[in-house]
Structure formats: structure tokens, C-alpha cells
Chains A and B, each alone.
Chain A
Amino acid sequence: SAVISQKPSRDICQRGTSLTIQCQVDSQVTMMFWYRQQPGQSLTLIATANQGSEATYESGFVIDKFPISRPNLTFSTLTVSNMSPEDSSIYLCSVGDGWEAFFGQGTRLTVV
């Protein structure tokens, strides 16, 4: 199994600023994913974080708004840039290991 540490667990940010969320895994994993849950909505995939190359973004999400780093097989960051109140959501890191999926605790972001 994989244990994921996601930080911060919550934050309140001013509009126009940026926040970087970290996801640390206790073992090397091939696949890492970032999801967003807007209020009252399902979790939605933002992008797949690829080690050594650019992230693969889903429709509706762009690199300028959600830059992602994946410097190695145990760590990834998601930045929410130039935030607006519409970015207030829960952001979740998930990894694939073998054929199982594991989850971080989530980051609750409020933009004021």
C-alpha cells in the first residue's frame, strides 16, 4: 500500500495570489493524479502528473492556471494560480500502485 501526505490540509487565500499544494508518497508510484471538488459537485480530474515530463491536463484545465510539478516518483505539487473565489474547492491527490488507488487527505481551499 501507499501512504500519502498532502499539505496543507486547508488554507484561506486572497484573490489574485497563488497556492502550492504538496503530495508526498512513502513509496515510488507510477501514476499520480490531481482532482478538484467544487462545492456540491463530484471530484473531477484536473491532470495526470507525469514524472520527467509535462502533466497531462483534462478538458477545461490549463497549465497556466494549474501548473504541476513531478520531480520524482514520490512527490508532486499542484499550484492554483491567480486565484479567484471560484477556485474555492477541495483539491485531492491520488496515486496508482499496482492496481490499487490511494488518496491524500485533501486540501480545502477558500479564496476571499
Chain B
Amino acid sequence: KNEVEQSPQNLTAQEGEFITINCSYSVGISALHWLQQHPGGGIVSLFMLSSGKKKHGRLIATINIQEKHSSLHITASHPRDSAVYICAVSLSNYKLTFGKGTLLTVNP
């Protein structure tokens, strides 16, 4: 079974700070996903990665396949970025294994 570990569990930042959330997994995967979950429970897909790096606005996601590690970065953080960020990995059959999530709070 693939284990997915995220760190930190909780993160508090001041508006404008650069934020990094880390994700490690234990076995080979076909893709890694970063998801955002808002307090109401709704889940939004941010990125899907199989290699390299992707950027969308102030969000950047990277993955190192050899080290089985991914990072999600948020530049110029804003209070509206406050949410739970979840890392999930998938094998070739699309079944996902999820991390426990990182609760991010950005204070004004």
C-alpha cells in the first residue's frame, strides 16, 4: 500500500509570505495530485503532476520522481488561500491514496 505523508500538518502565515507544503510517498506512482479543500468541504483540483514543475498563477507544484517527493508553493500568500491542501497519488488504475492534508491559515 502506498503511504502518503504531508508536512506540516498545520501552517500559519502572514499575508505576503512564501509558503511551502511538502508531500512524500512510498512507492512508484503514475501521477500526483494537489487538491484544495475549503471549510465548506468542497474540493478543487489544483495540479496533476507526473514529472517536473507546473505553475498556475501564484501556485507552483514540483515533483521529484526519484526522491518520491513533491512540493506545493504559494507565492505572495493571501487570506483567501486559507484552506486544507491535500496531496494524493495514483497508480495506473486511477485509485487514489490521499495524505491527511495541511491546514493553511493566512492572516491579514
Contact = CB atoms under 8 A, between A and B. Distances in A.
A100 B88 CA distance: 12
A102 B45 contact: yes
B64 to A, nearest CB: 20
B96 A9 contact: no
A38 to B, nearest CB: 11
A99 B93 CA distance: 8
Interface of B: 4, 30-31, 33, 35, 37, 40-45, 48, 50, 86, 88, 90, 92-96, 98-101
Contacts of B42: 9, 105-106
Given A31-B93, A96-B94, A103-B35, A42 B99 contact: yes
Given A31-B93, A101-B33, A108 B41 contact: yes
Q: How large is the interface on A (under 10, 10 to 19, 20 to 34, 35 or more residues)?
A: 20 to 34
Interface of A: 9-10, 31, 33, 35, 41-45, 48, 90, 92, 94-96, 99-108
Contacts of A9: 40-42
